Amino acid sequence: MRDAGILSSYLAPYVLRDLARRGVPELPALRRMRGAVMVADISGFTATCERLAERGPDGVDVLSRALNQYFARLIDVVGRYGGEVVSFAGDALTALWVFEHGTERALACATELAASPRTGRIPLTARFGVAAGELCATELGGARGRRHCVLNGAALLGASAASRLAEAGAVVVDASTARPSPSGLSITEPDQPVVTVDVLRDYLPSAVLARVEHGQRWWMAELRTVTAIFAHIPGFDTVTDAARAHEVVRLSQEHLGRWDIDLLDISVDDHGTCLVAVAGLPPFAHGDDAARAVAAARSLAEAVTGPASRPCIGIATGRAFCGPIGNKRRATYTVIGDVMNTAARMMQHGIANNAVLLCDAATERAARHRHHFGAWHHFRVKGKRDVLMAYEPGRRQPVTSRRPTPGHRIVGREHACRALAGALGESLTGTARVVLVEGEPGIGKSRLLAELPSIASAAGAVPLVGCADHLERSVPYRAWRPIITALADTTVAPDLAPLLNGVLGADRPETARTAALRGEQRTEALRQLLVDVVCAAAARKPLAVALDDGHWLDSASWALALAVSRTRVPLLLVVASRSVDQESPELAALRAVDRTDTVKLGPLPRPDLVALVRGRLGAADVPAALISSIAERSGGNPLLVEELLIALREAGVLVVDRDTRVRVQPEALADSPVPHTIEGVLGSRMNGLSPDADLTLKVASALGQTFERDALAAVHPVRTDLETALGTLVDRELIVAAGQGRFVFRHALTRNVAYHRMLTLQRRDLHRRIAGWLETRSVADHALLGHHWERARHRDRASSHLRLASITAVNEGMGKEAVDLGLRAARLLGVVLRRDPDGLAAGIHAARAAIHALAGNDLATRLERLPPSGNKRMTTAIGLLLAIEPAVHMTLHAGLFTLIGLRSMVLTLRYGADEYTPGVIAIYAMLDHGEAMRRAEVFALSTLAKRMAVRTGSPLVTYAGFVHSWFVQHWMRPVIENLRSIIRDARAGFEHGDIMFGCFNSASYVVLLARAGGSMRAVLAAGRRAAALIDGRVTAAAFHCKLEIQVAQALAGRTTRPWSLSDLPGQSASGVDVDEERDIAAITKTDLANEIGYYWSAKARLHLYYRRFDEAVEFARRAEPLLPSFAGQAEEAEFTMWFALGLLSRGRDGDEAKARALLDRLRAWACDAPDLLGHKAMLVEGQLAAVNGHLATAQSLWYDAAGSASRAGYRQHAAFAWELAGRALAAAGAGTQALQCLHRAFTGYTELGAHAKAVDVRRAMDELGSGAYVS
């Protein structure tokens, strides 16, 4: 009875009463009565539909929700006034009163509704017409098991005409209706009659029955591409000639039914009667519904055309909402969208121009392969901006190929297979080879990879295949997981195996060796281990490795692919990805490898298509008609060819006998349900699914390309026999069983079609269920949780998880992903930042203007007087922006870094002070403001940020402190003065749980101590302490500590060469010998630009120390493009000085000009703080004078530089100045002076503990004393 109650809401109450009293009548059935009618006609509906249609499927979804809410309210109000809703669809609702005081009640109801305020996302208003009089209720049709109930008569026609005379929000009473006098109404709602389900079946669409019986009433609604048919039949009058009307309806049902098209509604108004049919509704949807609709309309027109009457039919195709509208009291299954308005306008234009059948442009495009279209004309209609094109279809045409079908696929794709085999053969010589396979979706990339095992076996190689996943792009090495799983057990030392836990999803306990690895050291150890695993396996037996869906690879997988491609082992790497207009930097890097080839896959040519069809059907001979049909529809896309064959066989159009003979009837083939796009094919095959299987497919589509049965069971909204549903989906080849309860969509497009058939609210509900279930699991995948909460429209929860995912990505060295995740999180909080050059420039300009408008010329005062913020969302957004700034800075997005800093300041000034204000000020202070702000003003702002953080107890004490120390303080004050403050900031970070900036401050202390002239002993001790505090938790910070330790080791003479960063055996500072290539240079394989820049800068400095000028300049040139990543930091001035000195010392063409440009930069910086930075400029000026033969000038400058550096505390620079002077004097033959200068350099290096340099200088002194000095 529960189903009967739900199904009863789909019939008008007067019909239910008649069924309860009299039973199911003989057709045609007619009953006359008197009553009052109210018609509510929504104003501006056509324009609203067109406007929302421009937004695509989401617009249709929004429109359906707006109508649902509006009609639901109308239904409730009509019920309160004792009325009953007869029909509502599209833009009108008809209500009936057949009880006492009907006219009074109808008018009172209309008056209340007209006076109601417009509400909702799409505020709707209506015009109301009221009339009373004779009515005629008729039952018609009955063909194909469906009866239609039609209400007609003077009262309905009068109300309809009156509504057209009314203004929006007004009520007009038909002139023939006596306007009742106001009176107190005692209103009681009529009882709901009870009718059995068996009786109701004959009155309801099949889609309603199937979904309700499976408990899926809410899931009945879908977004589909449909073809609407509006037919005006002259002389169709249920009042005066019920017998003819009945015959017309039966004929319509029969002619439409032959093409699996359901007569949806019979609409009556003052303009006449209209039959409404829709092709593409479940369960009778097909891929060629537009062509079917044209054929059915032509057949219907011929059947109902009489001597004195010609029908007028309009047809349109488009995306529409298909499902129930209303509420529990009264509902109807309807189709809503601009496509319905367009079909109605086509019909009306046909009436006005005596045209029998007119189609819109979308229908003509979709059906031109089945029908000739003759005359066309254009016209304008009220409410639509654009001109409508109308086409008149002529006779049906046979199937012909519309265009040549160039092509591709494994069948006949010898050159692609040869390319793989050839590359694999070349790799057997001991050098890895790469093949990039590219093409559009469905073109056969995955199928080509499926041939790799046979190619590998023939060459004696082991095939291994991995695949990326778009939902797991932030999971490191996601695509390599199955490959490493297959290789790891036999090639990984037990004490390193726990490193693979994250890759393999394992939980091996840490060993002593792996427990000691943290941060960048652990990240690089893992990367190197993976390379070693692959190389070791390839050394034993050649490998053929394939990575599918390369367009979704995470950056770690790309990095591993690039590393593997450069190895000297017998290995073939094949990466398959979609063709894109702008390829990723990672793909470009792999393409640039010398041993990389590219195979581009295109559509199949006809001979290969024939071979594919024969192979798929297992038949040697295939009818030419079938080949022509497949070629025409597939466009040579192999996936589409296979899906078409499956669809044809399932439809019974194509039969393969036991003797492998293929039988097809050309006419049946021409009429077969064959879509013209991949989405159409897949959608067509989904239409035949049971409600349970269909809903299961939709739920799975929300889970992702790969899903688990347990997850499906946990989030499925309806009790379902999952085993049967999944079995059906596997049998229909929509999904593939992957073992251990896992399933994979056969193609990503299958998932897309299923997913986008759901309404927005349905998708949100599923994502909410999935996110809630994921949060119950022990391991939190923040990126995946962020994805599902975002789709569920829980913006705050989504942004929170995406922020955590961004931080995780930074710590794992995946800067690009960190930025992407952070910006997604910001967008969810209402802060949208464009990243394209024009968008960045416009955003920066607008933000600077806003800051000036909000703060004037005294920003510091305005900031100190800000009131507290009352906007929690903006506070969260500002905190998020500050959190992603480090990742933006690390990945060299200078413009984006500036925009984020400026937008954060705008939000702070606009909404008030909060806990993040010190961080906002700190970031703003470090931005490049050009001439608008001098260093002193920057220093004052940065100091204000620190002071404010301490005063307010902000958790950003450590954040503001880091920015001040790392970017600002050293330009105006001696670094040594701030070192204690850095220690306090680091401690505060750890105490407040700000691990990232606690680690950053710890590392900055080590770096700045070294730049400030700290001794090697002090730097090593500080480096070890900081490394222990950081404990590998933040990759960038851990790397900086390690780098400074190893530079100190090199200067102290404890590395294999003075310019090397590899420890001498037993000389490690940490107890574990460091290998530069493995432990330091590996940073260059990440996208951590800042850390890479520091590494190249350190190498340039060390080579320069030992007069290896070519190498020094080469390393400096590598660092130069990364200069934006350490702009404003102490390293910027250091690097500029060393680079200029290297260029001048090398002395090639162009070096001096470049060095002079660098010198100008040093001089400009020295203007603000000559006592701190002047010696750097003097060092370069001295070298410039020396190379130009002005030794006396050079000597004077170097002496001054040594004195200035000593006073500022830069002991290393003072020692180097004395060394430069001594070596120049020695080369000029001034031995005594040279020895004095070199002795001072030796003393300075010795005091620093830079013993390698001291030995180097001592050697020069000895040579000078013996007369054997070599410059």
- Three-state secondary structure string covering 372-416: EEEEEEEECCCCCCCCEEEEEEEEECCCCCCCCCCCCCCCCCHHH
pLDDT in tens, 397-448: 443 333 322 233 467 678 889 999 999 999 999 999 999 999 877 788 888 8
CA 94 to each of CA 12, 204, 615, 708, 1135: distance values in angstroms, whole numbers, following the listed order:
10, 19, 58, 48, 80
Task: Tell me, yes or no, whether 34 and 158 share the same domain.
Answer: yes
Domain assignment of residue 852, yes or no: yes
What's the confidence (pLDDT) of residue 1271?
52
Helix (H) or strand (E) holding 134: strand 126-141
Task: Tell me, yes or no, whether 659 and 713 share the same domain.
Answer: no
Domain assignment of residue 718, yes or no: yes
DSSP state for residue 858 in the 8-state scheme: -
Task: Tell me, yes or no, whether 1265 and 1121 share the same domain.
Answer: no
Task: Tell me, yes or no, whether 534 and 632 share the same domain.
Answer: no
Task: Look at residues 863, 884, 914 and tell me which one is the last residue of a structural domain.
Answer: 914
Domain assignment of residue 704, yes or no: yes
**Beta strand pairing call for 571-578 and 543-548:** parallel
Domain assignment of residue 1078, yes or no: no
- Strands (E) located in 196-340: 222-232, 262-269, 272-279, 312-326, 331-336
Helix (H) or strand (E) holding 347: helix 338-353
Distance CA 161, CA 1123 (A): 75
DSSP state for residue 221 in the 8-state scheme: -
Task: Tell me, yes or no, whether 331 and 471 share the same domain.
Answer: no
Amino acid at 136: C
Domain assignment of residue 1025, yes or no: no
Task: Look at residues 662, 684, 706 and tell me which one is the last residue of a structural domain.
Answer: 684
Domain assignment of residue 578, yes or no: yes
- Least confident range from 337-346, 568-577, 673-682: namely 673-682
Give, in degrees to the nearest 5, the angle at Cα 300 between 296 and 305: 155
Distance CA 503, CA 812 (A): 13
Domain assignment of residue 612, yes or no: yes
Of the candidates 107, 123, 110, 111, the residue with the CA atom closest to the CA atom of residue 69:
123
Distance CA 46, CA 93 (A): 16
- Burial of residue 251 (number of CB atoms within 10 Å: 0-12, 13-18, 19+): middle
CB-CB contact of 343 with 388 (8 Å): no
At 435 the three-state DSSP class reads strand
Domain assignment of residue 23, yes or no: yes
Task: Tell me, yes or no, whether 1164 and 1229 share the same domain.
Answer: no
User: Positive or negative CA dihedral for 1246, 1251, 1254, 1258?
Assistant: positive
CA 452 to each of CA 409, 457, 616: distance values in angstroms, whole numbers, following the listed order:
14, 8, 20
What's the confidence (pLDDT) of residue 398?
40
pLDDT in tens, 811-860: 777 778 889 899 999 999 999 999 889 999 999 999 999 999 999 888 88
- The answer, yes or no, to whether residue 8 has pLDDT greater than 80, is yes
pTM above 0.85, yes or no: no
| 1019 confidence band (pLDDT: 50, 70, 90) | very high
Of the candidates 796, 948, 923, 788, the residue with the CA atom closest to the CA atom of residue 864:
948
Partners of residue 464 on adjacent β-strands: 545
Distance CA 345, CA 339 (A): 10
pLDDT in tens, 848-903: 999 999 998 888 889 999 999 989 989 999 999 998 888 888 777 889 999 999 99
Task: Tell me, yes or no, whether 557 and 649 share the same domain.
Answer: no
Task: Tell me, yes or no, whether 717 and 752 share the same domain.
Answer: yes
What's the confidence (pLDDT) of residue 695?
93
CA 588 to each of CA 531, 580, 593, 1108: distance values in angstroms, whole numbers, following the listed order:
21, 12, 9, 33
Of the candidates 1207, 1213, 1074, 1035, the residue with the CA atom closest to the CA atom of residue 1141:
1213
What's the confidence (pLDDT) of residue 405?
29
Q: Which are the contacts of 1256, defined by CB distance < 8 A and separation ≥ 6?
A: 1058, 1105, 1106
Distance CA 1167, CA 1205 (A): 16
CB-CB contact of 238 with 136 (8 Å): yes
Structural domains counted in the chain: 7
Amino acid at 121: R
CA 1262 to each of CA 607, 1227, 1231: distance values in angstroms, whole numbers, following the listed order:
84, 14, 11
Residue 1175, both tokens: 């010696």
Task: Look at residues 1142, 1168, 1194 and tell me which one is the last residue of a structural domain.
Answer: 1168
Cβ count within 10 A of residue 1266: 8
Q: Report the CATH number that the domain containing residue 258 is assigned in CATH.
A: 3.30.70.1230
- The answer, yes or no, to whether residue 1217 has pLDDT greater than 50, is yes
The more confidently predicted of residues 917 and 189 is: 917
Which residue segment(s) compose the domain that 259 sits in? 2-174+202-239+246-282+300-305+312-336
At 539 the three-state DSSP class reads helix
Q: Quick one: what percent of the chain has pLDDT higher than 90?
A: 43
Ramachandran category for residue 324: left, alpha or beta (phi over 0 → left; psi -120 to 50 → alpha): beta
Task: Tell me, yes or no, whether 62 and 78 share the same domain.
Answer: yes
Most confident of 641-655, 708-722, 736-750: 708-722
pLDDT in tens, 475-529: 888 889 889 888 876 667 888 888 888 888 777 888 888 888 877 778 888 888 9
Task: Tell me, yes or no, whether 320 and 264 share the same domain.
Answer: yes
Provide the CB-side half-sphere exposure for 895 (13 A, CA). 13
Three-state SS sequence of 1134-1165: HHHHHHHHHHHHHCCCCHHHHHHHHHHHHHHH
Amino acid at 27: L
Task: Tell me, yes or no, whether 163 and 232 share the same domain.
Answer: yes
Of the candidates 593, 555, 639, the residue with the CA atom closest to the CA atom of residue 435:
593
At 100 the three-state DSSP class reads coil
Task: Tell me, yes or no, whether 1160 and 1209 share the same domain.
Answer: no
Distance CA 1037, CA 1023 (A): 11
Note the residue count of the chain: 1271
What's the confidence (pLDDT) of residue 1115?
96
Provide the CB-side half-sphere exposure for 480 (13 A, CA). 27
**Beta strand pairing call for 331-336 and 357-359:** unpaired
CB-CB contact of 608 with 412 (8 Å): yes
Q: Mean pLDDT, to the nearest integer, of 1128-1148?
A: 93
In the chain, helix, strand, coil percent, each to 5?
Answer: 60, 15, 30
Q: Report the CATH number that the domain containing residue 739 is assigned in CATH.
A: 1.10.10.10
The more confidently predicted of residues 581 and 548 is: 548
